[in-house]
A and B are shown apart, each in its own frame.
Chain A
Amino acid sequence: MEEIKLSRRDFLKISAATGGGLIIGFALGGCEKQTAPPAQGPLSEGVPEAEPLQFTPNAWLTINSDDTVTIRVGSSEMGQGTLTGIAMLIADELDADWSRLRAEHAPTDKAYTNPIIGRQHTGGSTAIRGFWNIVRKAGATGRELLLQAAAKQWGVEPSECRARKGEVIHQASGRRLRYGALAETAARLPVPDKVFMKEPDEFVLIGKSIPRLDTPDKVDGKAVFGMDVQLPKLLTATVARCPVKGGKLKHFDAKQALAMPGVKRVEAISAGVAVIADHFWAAKQGRDALSIEWDTAGNESLDSASIEAQFKAALDSGLRVRDDGNINQSLAAAAKTLEAVYTAPYQAHVCMEPMNATADVRADGCDVYVSTQAQTASQETAMRITGLARDKVKVHTTFLGGGFGRRSEQDFVMDAVECSKVAGQPVKVIWSREDDIMHDQYRPATYNRLRGGVDAQGKLLAWEHRIAGSSILARLYPGAVKDGHDRTNTEGAKNLPYHIANLRVSYAMVNTPVPVGFWRSVGSSQNAFITECFFDELAKLAGRDPLQARLELMSEHPRHAGVLKLAAEKAGWGTPLPKGRARGIAVAESFTTYTAQVAEVSIDKGAVRVHRMICAVDCGMVVNPNSIRAQMEGAIVYGLTAALKGPITIAGGQIQQRNFDDYPLLRLDECPAIDVHIVNSQQHPGGVGEPGVPPTAPAVANAVFALTGQPVRSLPIRLGA
Chain B
Amino acid sequence: MLHLNVNGQRHDLAMASDTPLLWALRDGLKLTGTKFGCGIAVCGSCVVLVDGKPVRSCVTPVSALAGKKITTIEGLSTDRSHPVQQAWIAEEVPQCGYCQSGQILTAVALLARKPNPTEAEIEEAMRDVLCRCGTYPRIRTAIKKAVALAAAKDKEV
Contact = CB atoms under 8 A, between A and B. Distances in A.
Interface centre among A212, A278, A280, A668, by most B CB within 10 Å?
A668
Contact of B23 (A225, A279, A353, A636): A279
B99 interface: yes
Interface string B33-64: 11111111011010000000000000000000
A402 B35 contact: no
Interface in A54-93: 78-81
B36 A227 contact: yes
Contacts of A671: 134, 136-137, 140
B27 A353 contact: no
Interface residues of B, number: 60
Contacts of A657: none
A147 to B, nearest CB: 34
Contact of A401 (B35, B127, B140): B35
A669 B135 contact: no
A633 interface: yes
Given A281-B27, A660-B38, A665 B132 contact: yes
Nearest to A352: B98
Contacts of A351: 96, 98, 132
Contact of A216 (B34, B42, B89, B122): B89
Contacts of A670: 127
B45 A352 contact: yes
Nearest to A613: B137
Contacts of B33: 220-222
Contact of B128 (A79, A399, A667): A667
A592 interface: no
B96 to A, nearest CB: 3
Contact of A637 (B34, B37, B136): B136
A433 B39 contact: yes
Q: Which of A280, A281, A354, A404 has the most CB of B within 10 A?
A: A281
Interface string A350-369: 11111000000000000000
B40 A281 contact: no
A280 B22 CA distance: 10
Q: Is the interface of B mostly helix, strand, loop or mixed?
A: loop
A236 interface: yes
Contact of B73 (A220, A280, A400, A404): A220
Contact of A280 (B27, B74, B93, B124): B27
B12 interface: no
Contacts of B128: 667
Contacts of A484: none
Contacts of B89: 211, 215-216, 219
Nearest to A658: B40
A183 B42 CA distance: 52
A261 interface: yes
Contacts of A656: none
Contact of A221 (B23, B42, B73): B73
A626 B91 CA distance: 10
B111 interface: no
Nearest to B139: A668
A153 interface: no
A228 B30 CA distance: 9
Nearest to B75: A221
Main secondary structure of the interface of A (DSSP, over half): loop
Contacts of A674: 137
Contacts of B124: 669
Nearest to B32: A228
B132 A669 contact: no
Contact of B34 (A80, A221, A223, A673): A221
Contacts of B38: 433, 659-660
B97 A79 contact: yes
Contacts of A261: 16
Interface string B84-102: 0100110011111111110
A93 to B, nearest CB: 24
A305 B82 CA distance: 52
Contacts of A354: 36-37
Contacts of B135: 630, 633-634
A474 interface: no
Contacts of B40: 433, 659-661
A425 interface: no
A612 B36 CA distance: 32
B23 A634 contact: no
B138 to A, nearest CB: 7
Given A630-B95, A633-B134, A219 B85 contact: yes
A306 to B, nearest CB: 30
Contacts of A401: 35, 96-99
B92 A630 contact: yes
Contacts of B93: 215, 219
A432 interface: yes
A605 to B, nearest CB: 16
Nearest to A430: B36
Nearest to B45: A352
A219 B88 contact: yes
A214 interface: yes
Nearest to A437: B38
A130 B122 CA distance: 40
A660 B94 contact: no
8 contacts: A81-B95, A217-B97, A219-B80, A227-B35, A352-B45, A354-B36, A399-B97, A433-B38
Report, nearest first, the 7 A-B pairs whose CB atoms are least far apart: A221-B33, A637-B134, A401-B98, A218-B97, A79-B96, A79-B95, A634-B134
